[in-house]
Amino acid sequence: MFYEIIELGRLSKEKSIAADLFTRDTNAILIVIEFDDACNYIGCSLEHFDPNKKEKYLYMKKASNGPDFSPTAKVTEIKKTLKTKIIGWFKTYNGNDPLIKKLTKIINTKKESIEKDLEQTFNQIDRKTKKAITIKIGGKYVGEIEGFRKYFEESYRERQTSQKSKGEIRGEAICIGCGEKKVVSPLAAANSFKFATVDKIGFTTHFNQSDSWKNIPLCQDCGDSLTIGKNLLDKHLNFNMYGIAFYMIPQFILGISDKQHISDLIEHIKKGSKDEKDIETFICEEDHLNEILSEKDVLSFKYLFYIKKSERMIILGVSDDVYPSWLNKIYKSREESSISYSIFKEEFLKKIFGAKYSGNLKFHTLGAEFKEFFPLDSKTLGNHQKSYVDIINSILSRRTLPKKFIISAFVPVLRQKFTAESNVKFISPTLDSIKILAFLRKLELLKGETMENEWEKKACFFVGVLAAKLMAAQFAIRGSTPFVKKLHGLRINEKNLKDIFRETKAKLLEYDIYSYQEFEQMAAEALVKSKEGWKLSPDEISYYFTCGLALGKGFKNVEDAKSILKEVF
């Protein structure tokens, strides 16, 4: 992974190691503490954040409880930020630049006035707006002043090869980035990615922390490229999927002669980055990449899913070698699965939801579709973060998914909706579950598709359809559906299913309803032809019954139901 990010930084036109203050929020505000050419304090002013002024702002995070690499910092609490990030920076400055030393004295003398002005200026900004503080001297930003730039560079270089508590960590070895024998250190990787730890003795070579450079040997130039590449990832290829972040890391497979091609690609990605609200479109549509990729696999992508806990970065999953052609197929299959089945079309949906319903059922983002059945923080259904990430990873990596596993994830959600939401709102998630199966089938990623248990599936489905017909009639007659109590909260096994069938027949006879006899006959035939000792699991029985129950209102006759059953399952 480090190699790909080093290459990204090396091939980019970006050469500054400074980080972006804000990666995507162009509406952020800067509070500027202003001094004149003689370092006399003038006051505080506001200006809009400009992403093109990265080198002028000269920002790079250092420690959450200490100053950063320059007196430019993101604002949390105004007093705390001033004390820790601004005054704290000057307090720890140990250089010899006369301008900075003079400014340090002025700031210490005027800190009460500065704090008061900062608070007044801070209160003019909307609370929801992101904010940062920086300094100007004679109208120049810190990045435009030699003393600040030099100290920034020196501090950065020191951190790339030594730690305060461990001292210098470096040695001579083959660099993993350029393949040349140079002086190397692991700290460029450890500083950029908090999972690449060197401060725990158990992760070091021979349990000797001074030898940890042997684990991730990086030379200075490749360390700089890694920093630049990481900054590019954070700004343009870092996304948030319901609290789970992921990087989309380009993996270059072209020869060195194609450097300009790759450089252009990076610039195109930078211009085409989309808002994180639309992340799945960004992943699956190649609108902003097609001009360069032209649907050719001139590179692949690595997807790295992670979460952050405090300063730690915890990797949840990785997908390697994801080619543009496969992303394109995912996108097309997503669209095709929504339009190829008649149950997703407005005409059929009106029969289920009523005449006022409009529009076809569409496939949403991958993240949204699967989150419905693999909730990340549900009080009743639990946290399925690992399974959720594994599912997305499997799709990106072309790994098949067991159909039984997918269905077992559907059933608890459908049961919850059925019992908790008046026996009607389970219909939409049932359609969503069918949509997911259709999508995976289109990608040929569904494992366990078999014709063996077809009569068992038919029995479950048609008993569900018949129950739906009865409940619709019952509601028309009584204004309620007491038969729902006979459905065991959708916890159905072979015995329960047969009981439901008998009770449904009896209740239809009690109401003198004979118009659904063909559905009765189809269900009876399927039950007879299903051998004793069913192979379907209780979850599968419950699922196919639930599908029949959800779709039953839409069928005029058995042939309609048969064609849907064949089409979908």
Query: What backbone torsions phi and psi does residue 511 show, to the nearest 5 degrees?
Result: -85, 5
pTM (predicted TM-score): 0.85
| pLDDT at site 422 | 60
| pLDDT at site 420 | 53
| pLDDT at site 252 | 75
Beta strand pairing call for 446-447 and 162-163? unpaired
| Spatial CA neighbour of 63 closest among 42, 78, 85, 83 | 85
Q: Give residue-wise pLDDT tens across range 31-51.
A: 999 999 999 999 999 999 998
Percent of the chain with pLDDT over 70: 88
What average pLDDT does range 135-156 have in this prediction?
A: 96
| pLDDT at site 278 | 42
Q: Give 355's contacts (C-beta < 8 A, 6+ positions apart).
A: none
Q: Give 178's contacts (C-beta < 8 A, 6+ positions apart).
A: 219, 221, 222
Q: Find the Cα–Cα–Cα–Cα dihedral 209, 211, 217, 220, rounded to 10°.
A: 80
| pLDDT at site 200 | 54
pLDDT at 242 over 90: no
| pLDDT at site 237 | 83
pLDDT at 147 over 70: yes
Q: Which of 19-23, 93-97, 261-265 has the lowest mean pLDDT?
A: 261-265
| pLDDT at site 195 | 67
Q: Which of 265-279, 387-401, 438-452, 541-555 has the lowest mean pLDDT?
A: 265-279
Average pLDDT, the chain: 86
Q: What long-range pairs does 560-565 form, CB within 8 A, spacing at least 24?
A: 561/461, 561/462, 561/465, 561/519, 561/522, 562/522, 564/342, 564/343, 565/457, 565/458, 565/461
Q: What are the C-alpha distances in Å from 450 to residues 337, 403, 428, 458, 511? A: 20, 10, 26, 13, 39
What average pLDDT does range 412-441 have in this prediction?
A: 87
Q: Which of 10-24, 135-149, 252-266, 480-494 has the lowest mean pLDDT?
A: 252-266
Query: 280 with 248: CB under 8 angstroms?
Result: no
| pLDDT at site 25 | 64
| pLDDT at site 63 | 79
| Spatial CA neighbour of 433 closest among 370, 386, 480 | 370
Q: Give residue-wise pLDDT tens across range 248-276.
A: 888 877 554 455 666 666 666 656 554 44
pLDDT at 192 over 90: no
Residue 362 CB coordination number (10 Å): 12
| pLDDT at site 266 | 62
